Amino acid sequence: MGLESKLTNDGFFTTTIDALASWARENSVWPMPMGISCCAIEMMAVGDPKYDIARFGSEVMRFTPRQCDLMIVAGTVTYKMAHVVKKIFDQMPEPKWVIAMGACTSSGGMYRSYNVVQGIDQFLPVDVYAAGCPPRPENLLNALMQIQEKIGKTRVKDFPDAQQSGFDTKPTDLSLSKN
């Protein structure tokens, strides 16, 4: 199951830096609980003993973006709130991932309205969409497991430093198209 199963009779095993780094990353995904509306209740349920997000190493909900790897956007994002979500996402250090939890977050849901962003993928790089209104806690856990799977496929060199890659260090401009 864990590392101990990899131990052969010799009592040691070899690995690569990529495997070690992604193993560490995928088993300590600290979420930023961006609980904006009712989906946040299901997100809280994920932390309780019945669903127990601690099994995946993600029980440490951090209320500062500096310590977070994963942003769980749980709720209806209005145009006013979009600036807040974007700012907090920008303040998270790389590497970082995003779960769009629920119908409102993914597509605006039932709020086909002048003030609701029709899907946060208009301004955030969403990795996993969790369907449902709200999604059941199991669904959020499934989304987290897919994030872990995605992290498992990454390599250390996929996230280069700014000066190595010529990465644009300027904060991205938030320009939302109202429709």
Partner 1 sequence: MINLNTKKLKDKMLIDYIPIFLVFGFAILFSAAVVYSSSLFGPQRPNSEKLSTYESGMKPIGTTHDRVSVKYYIVAMLFIIFDLEVIFVYPWAVQFKKLFTEFGISIFFSMLLFLVVFEIGFLYAYKKGGFKWD
Residue 83: CB minimum distance to partner 1, A: 8
**Binder among 65, 79, 150, 154 for partner 1 (CB under 8 A):** 65
Site size toward partner 1, by CB under 8 A: 25
Q: What is the DSSP string of 12-30?
A: -----HHHHHHHHHHT---
Q: Does 125 bind partner 1 (CB under 8 A)?
A: no
Residue in this structure with the two tokens 């605006």, named with its chain if needed? 108
Cβ pair 105, 73 in contact under 8 A: yes
Using the minimum distance from each CB to partner 1, give the nearer residue, 112 or 155.
155
Residue 159: CB minimum distance to partner 1, A: 4
Cβ neighbours, 10 Å, residue 47: 18
Segment contacting partner 1 by CB under 8 A, of 107-115, 121-129, 136-144, 160-168: 160-168
Beta-carbon contacts of 167 under 8 Å, excluding residues fewer than 6 positions away, are 160, 161
Using the minimum distance from each CB to partner 1, give the nearer residue, 125 or 160.
160
**Binder among 52, 133, 153, 171 for partner 1 (CB under 8 A):** 171
**Binder among 16, 19, 52, 91 for partner 1 (CB under 8 A):** 91
E-assigned strand segments in 26-153: 31-35, 70-74, 97-101, 128-130
**Binder among 38, 60, 61, 88 for partner 1 (CB under 8 A):** 88
Give burial (CB, 10 Å; 0-12/13-18/19+) of 71.
buried
Q: Does 67 bind partner 1 (CB under 8 A)?
A: no
Distance CA 9, CA 72 (A): 42
Binding site for partner 1 (CB under 8 A): 17, 21, 64-66, 83-85, 87-88, 90-95, 156, 159-162, 167, 169-171
